[in-house]
Amino acid sequence: MRFMMLMFPADQCNAAPDALPSAEAVEQMMRFNKSLQEAGVLLALDGLHPPSAGARVSIVDGKVRVVDGPFAEAKEVVGGYWIIDVGSRDEAIAWASRCPIGAGNTIEVRQVFEMTEFPPELRKAAEGFDDPRRPAAS
């Protein structure tokens, strides 16, 4: 079973656009990442720039609205994610529990949809999409 662990760092909402995590935080996180890798469960991971360097795009009254970060109204913003392959939801939670998150930070554990979970009509609707992760045709 594949899960995404989404990290919601509390201090990320108002972090400066060029803010970087401390060396100590990175070192701790790398140790956690390494433990995921050594256990053979880590499939992918990424960390994100702060939202103040990002933008939010929405449709308001039929028009595209773009709001530059930081987002004053946002209570939680994503700071990064891991994708892990584990035997159960409990195991995903156990891994998230081991992550060295500081006080106030949150990790959300969500199962990743697999194509086979979709009924045929939904799969049909997804047809023709060339997944970018697939290798280029040789």
Partner 1 sequence: MTATDIHRTIDAVWRIESARLIAGLARMVRDVGLAEELAQDALVTALERWPESGVPDNPGAWLMTTAKHRAIDLLRRKKLIERKHESLAYESESDAVDSKSELETMLDDDIGDDLLRLIFTACHPVLSAEARAALTLRLLGGLTTDEIARAFLVPEPTISQRIVRAKRTLAEKQIPFEVPRGEERDERLASVLEVIYLIFNEGYAATSGDDWIRPELCNEAMRVGRVLAGLAPQEPEVFGLLALMEIQASRLRARTTAAGEPILLPDQDRSLWDPLLIRRGLTALERAEKLGGARTPYALQAAIAACHARARTADATDWNRIAALYAELTQVLPSPVVELNRAVAVSMASGPAAGLALIDALSDEPLLRNYHLLPSVRGDLLSRLQRHAEARDEFERAASMARNVRERHFLQRRAAACADAMRSPD
CA distance 85 to 87: 7
- The structure tokens 């999409």 sit at 129
- Write out the DSSP string of 61-105: TTEEEEEESS-TT-S----EEEEEE-S-HHHHHHHHHTS---TT-
In the complex, minimum distance from the CB of residue 127 to partner 1, in angstroms, rounded to a whole number? 6
Footprint on this chain of partner 1 (rule: CB under 8 A): 2, 31, 34-35, 37-44, 83, 85-88, 90-91, 93-95, 98, 114-116, 123, 126-127, 129-138
* Phi, psi of 3, deg, nearest 5: -125, 150
If the CB atoms of residues 30 and 74 are measured against partner 1, the closer one turns out to be 30
If the CB atoms of residues 43 and 78 are measured against partner 1, the closer one turns out to be 43
CA distance 131 to 56: 25
In the complex, minimum distance from the CB of residue 27 to partner 1, in angstroms, rounded to a whole number? 11
CA distance 3 to 1: 7
If the CB atoms of residues 20 and 97 are measured against partner 1, the closer one turns out to be 97
What distance, in Å, lies between the first and last C-alpha atoms of the chain? 30
In the complex, minimum distance from the CB of residue 38 to partner 1, in angstroms, rounded to a whole number? 5
In the complex, minimum distance from the CB of residue 40 to partner 1, in angstroms, rounded to a whole number? 3
In the complex, minimum distance from the CB of residue 5 to partner 1, in angstroms, rounded to a whole number? 14
If the CB atoms of residues 55 and 125 are measured against partner 1, the closer one turns out to be 125
If the CB atoms of residues 65 and 123 are measured against partner 1, the closer one turns out to be 123
